[in-house]
Structures are given as structure tokens and as C-alpha cells.
Structure 1
Amino acid sequence: MGEGLELPDLFPGFATQRISAGGTDIHMRIGGVGPPLLLIHGYPQSHAMWHRVAPELAKHHTLIIPDLPGYGQSSIPPLSANHAAYSKRSMAKILVSVMETLGHTRFAVVGHDRGGRVSYRMALDHPERIERIAVLDILPTLEYWQRIDRAFALKIYHWAFLAQPAPFPENMIANAPRAFLDHTLASWTGDKSLASFSEEALAHYHAFFEQSDRIAATCEDYRAGAAIDVDHDAADQEQGRKIKAPLLAVWGNMGIAQGAETPLDTWARWAEDLRGKGLDGGHFVAEENPGALLAELLPFMTSRGGD
């Protein structure tokens, strides 16, 4: 963040740590007791999005809550022609390395939005590391691109906009970054407002999103999502590779993942051991409906085997 900038502490009692992996310094909050659980945020947010569910989860798990490369307070990998540094494969590898540095060779993971894409890529690329995985309001990247029609394109217009060559989308956003961020957040909620977000969390989101180099990093994330990430997904499908760890899919009934097929129909093509449920609200289930999310996450994370 900007030098000297003070942001609200949304995780009182949690440690703050930075770990270097793959040439990137990852900022994270760590707290709680029990088996390790990695929480990965999405766009256009930061680790702050977990603040409403972290206190209860921390009673049962040691939580590791990072900012993705380029987001929040983590360092910013350079942009490149193939966008490889922002591929979900690269981000997953970095976070696996971070977890290993912390002493966690096996762990559970929960990912929302872009963090959900990092999570399922992690489960496909590093199956020996992942005990359980939960994905919040997403479908696999390849599936989104394959199903885009008029209605879905309007719903996820940002996928094509943010993936345009640099610096077009970042320059457009930088003209009014707060307005763009607030519109994006509100438009993806169930009630189309900012009411679900605390002022403290919004302070975190605004602070990082008003930095031009971080806006560029988030666009690069989506360029990877329109190119190299699709290639990685397609290779898995062609080879019949599936996620082996038990997978919980949770989505907002008014969120982005809901479509003609139910999300479970789609995830069944990608996971061997699957369950899931839609919750009241929109895309930001951890902030719009934290109680209902916890009611799904806690029993899933503490159960064993395929129950």
C-alpha cells in the first residue's frame, strides 16, 4: 500500500507476515488454531473480504489469508506478453510454496472468484497438497468462455473488457477508479448496493484499487484468464484429469455462477467428489450471507472422507 497508509485492522489478534515465493512477496494475515485452511480472495477485493467469516473459522482452523500477487499489499509481478505471471497455475504454485514455508504440506483451501480459480488449479496441479477445496460463486474458466451468449456476456462483460490489451482497460479505469470499483461491487450483489460491505472493508478495497500499477495487475489477471488459463483448463479436460479432493461448490442464487445448468452439473465434469448449495444473495457470499456460508463450510471442512 502507500507508504504510511493506515488501514483498519479487520483481523484483530492475527499476525501479519510477508513471505517471498517465486519472486513475489505475499502479504497475509495468520491466526486461529487447528488444521491449516487457506482463504483466497477474488476480484476486485483483497484478503479483507474474509473478515466476517474468519472469527468463527479461526476457532477450528489455523487461517492463512493472503493477498494474491498484484492485489492488496502483495508485490506486483511484471506484465508480459503471455501473462504467465498472472496465470492461476503460477499463483497456485506461489501459494503452495508459501504454505510449505509455513510448515503446511497438506491443507484445505477456500477460494472466491479469482481465488476460486487459483484454488481449483491448485487442486489439479498439486493434488497431493489439497485435503479439501471449496469454491465460491464460480465455474471453471473454460466453462465460462464456452457458455458466453448474449445474456451471459452482459453478466460478465468485465471478462472481455479487462482482458483487452494494455493499457486500454487500466487507463479507462484509472480515470475514475473508485466509481468503477463501487459500481462493480454493487452490481454483483443480490440487492445491487454497497450495503453488504463494511466501511472498513471498503477502505481496504479502495486503497489498493486507487493504485494504477495494481489496476494494471488486475487487468493482467483477466488477460491470463482469457488465454493461458483457458489452455490449462482445456488440457485437463482433454486428458480427463479431475479434482480428487472433496469439493464443495457454493454460489449466490443471484450470483454470477448461476446459469442454465446448475453449478453442480458443471462442476461434476471437473471433480470426483462433489457437493454444493446455492445461498441467498449475490456474488459476494462471504460478506452478503456469512452465516449461511459458515453453515456450509464448517461441517464440510471438519468431516472426513467423502461424507
Structure 2
Amino acid sequence: MSPRIPNFEYQRVTVADGVALNVAVAGSGSPVVLLHGFPQTHLMWRHVAAELAADHTVICPDLRGYGDSDKPVDIHGQTYSKRTMGNDIVALAQAFGHDRFALAGHDRGVLVGFRAALDHPENVSHFLALDVLPTLDMWDVMSGSTGVVGFHLFLMAQPVGLPEQLIGASADAFFGHFLDIWTRDPAAIPAEIREVYLTASRNAIPSIVADYRASANVDVEHDRVDRAAGNTLRMPVTALAQDWGAELGFDAEAIWRAWAPDLRHELIGCGHFMAEEAPAEIVRAIRELVKR
């Protein structure tokens, strides 16, 4: 059996026609939904979730297309749009009886959460974003040599066929590359957890690529519509980012503030996988956010 978050109950919850998510849930109190990133599963929240469950209902799904959740075939580029995936999360919370909930995301989970928060402000009470920019802005800053660090974004944006073939030919090397270069403290992802991530990603190449492909197409279109309309996040937002110093090349706080008028932005001294490298900092940020 794959590792699980201790003391969490596991369920499969149907969130759309033919799509059920693998979900870990525990605790009581105001609900917090935690969305994982790439190339991971809900287990990336194992430390944070266990701590938060002392005073919150904590809901940790594998996103559509990841982990042990369903992986529907992409249809017309819409199946893995962040709007569709965000709708999954609202339906998931409602299945547990929560029409209003706090939402925290890391990496891909931020993009899903961002879209859910824009589309469903009546449901998302607070939003925490860990170490990524909104989709439209992410593409805007990926220019010149800066784009080298995001090579996978461009690879997986290509039409169906080539990305899947290239990644499938050396899946563990591809996904393991990001686990290695994005981590400042390798001990934060022990061998047994790393193997879960690699196995889950190896078994989900078409859906992971479809998720990224959507971010270069339909997700950009959705963000552009909201930007043109002046739509912003109506709830309190906290955005945490790595402290890159002068190397960053863009103002992440200003980018987030354009979308989130009620923003707190903090720099954290760890690698990309914040919930595993600095879980106490993430728990603190979530608890402070839900009090706003």
C-alpha cells in the first residue's frame, strides 16, 4: 500500500461525470482544502495537513489526472483546463458539506485554486498560493534566458504525441529532475515519498501533459478575459515565494497584487517544495490567513 497521511481517512469522491478524486480527510472545524503541485500527489501536504487537522477540517485530494484520482482522456483541450479542475474542487468541498472553504495550493495546485477563487468567490473564503505565478503572468515572464528554467512548460505545451513520447522514454529521469533541482533540502523528500511521486507521475503522463498543455491555451484565454474585465480575487490572499534575491528578474509581489487587492506577500528561505521543506512556516501562514 502506498504511504498515507497518518490518521486521515481516505475516500473516492465523484466530482464530475466519470471523474472521482482520491481524497484524504481528517479533523474538524473550518474547512481548508490543500491542492498539490507537480510532480507530486496529496502526500506533499503530509506534515502541514497533520498539524492543521488539530483545529480544521482538512481535505487533501489528488488533482484530476494525478496520483490515484481519475485520469480522463483530454477532449478538445478542455478536460484539464483549470476552470474544469477548479470546478472539481468546489464540488469536492460541497460533497463534504462545505459551501465555503479556505483554499491553499502549491505549484499546479495554485493555478487550479486561482481559477476556482476567481470563478467561485462565494465558495472560496481565503486563498494561499505557494511559489508560482498566475498562468498569464507566468508566460509573460518566461522570456529570454529566464525561460530556460521553465523548459518543461514549453515542452508539454506541444501538440499531442511528441511530449508524451519523449517523457515516456525516460519518465523517472524527467520527473526526478524537478524533485532534485527544485529542492534545497533533499532530506525533505525521503526515498519512499520520492518513489510514490515518480510512480504516480510515470503512470499519469498523458494527463499531466494535458494539464500543462491547457495552461498554454485555454487557461491563458480565461485569464485574459478576467484581466480585460478587471476581475480580481475578492478574498484575502497570501502568496509565499522563494527568496531568489536579485536573480528573480521580476516583481512577484506586484504581479500578485494586480490580481489580489487584499494581499500579503512573503519570502521563505527554502526551495520550491515549501510544504515539505518548511511545513511550520506554511502552517503559520495558513492559520494567519484564515483569521483575516
Secondary structure of the corresponding residue to residue 47 of structure 2: coil
Aligned to 2:114: 120
**Match 1:140 to one of 107, 124, 134:** 134
Name the structure 1 match of 2:219.
229
Secondary structure of the equivalent of 1:269?
A: helix
Structure 2 equivalent of residue 3 of structure 1 = none
1:43 counterpart residue number: 38
| Aligned-partner Cα distance in 1 for 2:201–2:114 | 25
Residue in structure 2 matching 1:273, options 257, 262, 287: 262
Between stretches 116-125 and 164-173, larger displacement belongs to 164-173
User: Where in structure 2 are there 5+ consecutive unaligned residues?
Assistant: none
Local SS of the residue matching 1:51? helix
CA distance in 1, matches of 2:249, 2:194: 32
1:285 matches 2:274: yes
Q: Distance in 1 between matches of 2:88 and 2:28?
A: 23
Secondary structure of 1:223 counterpart: helix
Q: Is the 1:22–1:94 contact (alpha carbons within 8 Å) kept by the matching residues of 2?
A: yes
Q: Which of 237, 260, 273 pairs up with 1:247? A: 237
Distance across 1 between alignment mates of 2:288 and 2:140: 33
Farther-moved stretch of structure 1 (159-168 vs 125-134): 159-168
Question: Contact 1:252–1:284 (CA<8 Å) still a contact in 2?
Answer: no
Q: Say what the alpha-carbon RMSD is for the aligned residues.
A: 1.5
- Residue aligning to 2:193: 201
What does residue 160 of structure 2 align with?
A: 166
- Superposed displacement of residue 254, structure 1: 4.2
In the alignment, the residues of structure 2 paired with residue 281 and residue 77 of structure 1 have an alpha-carbon distance, to the nearest angstrom, of 35
The residue aligned with 1:60 is 55
Structure 1's consecutive aligned runs of 4 or more residues displaced over 3 angstroms after TM superposition are: none
User: d(CA) in 2 for partners of 1:12 and 1:291?
Assistant: 18
**Quick one: which amino acid aligns to residue 140 of structure 2?**
Q
Distance 2:20 2:53 in 1: 24
Identify the range of structure 1 (259-268 vs 25-34) with the bigger mean alpha-carbon deviation. Answer: 259-268
Listed one character per residue, the Cα deviations across residues 215-250 of structure 1 (whole Å, up to 9, x for unaligned) are 110000011000000000000000000000000001
> Are the aligned partners of 1:33 and 1:60 in contact in 2 as well (CA < 8 Å)?
yes
**Alignment deviations for residues 103-160 of structure 1 (CA, whole Å, 9 cap, x no partner):** 0000000000110011111110000001100000011110111122123201111110
Looking at secondary structure, tell me which structure has more helix per residue: 2
Cα distance in 2 for partners of 1:21, 1:54 equals: 22
Cα displacement (A) at 1:187: 1.3
The aligned counterpart of 1:101 is: 95
| Aligned-partner Cα distance in 1 for 2:113–2:2 | 27
Give distance in 2, aligned partners of 1:292 and 1:93.
28
- Which residue does the alignment assign to 1:16? 10
Letter in 1 for 2:71: I
5+ unaligned residues in a row in structure 1: which ranges?
A: 1-5
**CA–CA distance in structure 2, aligned partners of residues 206 and 190 of structure 1:** 19
Quick check: 112-121 or 141-150, which moved more?
Answer: 141-150
Q: Which moved more, 1:226-235 or 1:168-177?
A: 168-177
Deviation of 1:80 after TM superposition, in Å, equals 2.5
Counterparts of 1:200 and 1:129 in 2: how far apart (Å)? 36
The separation in 1 between residues aligned to 2:216 and 2:71, in whole angstroms, is 20
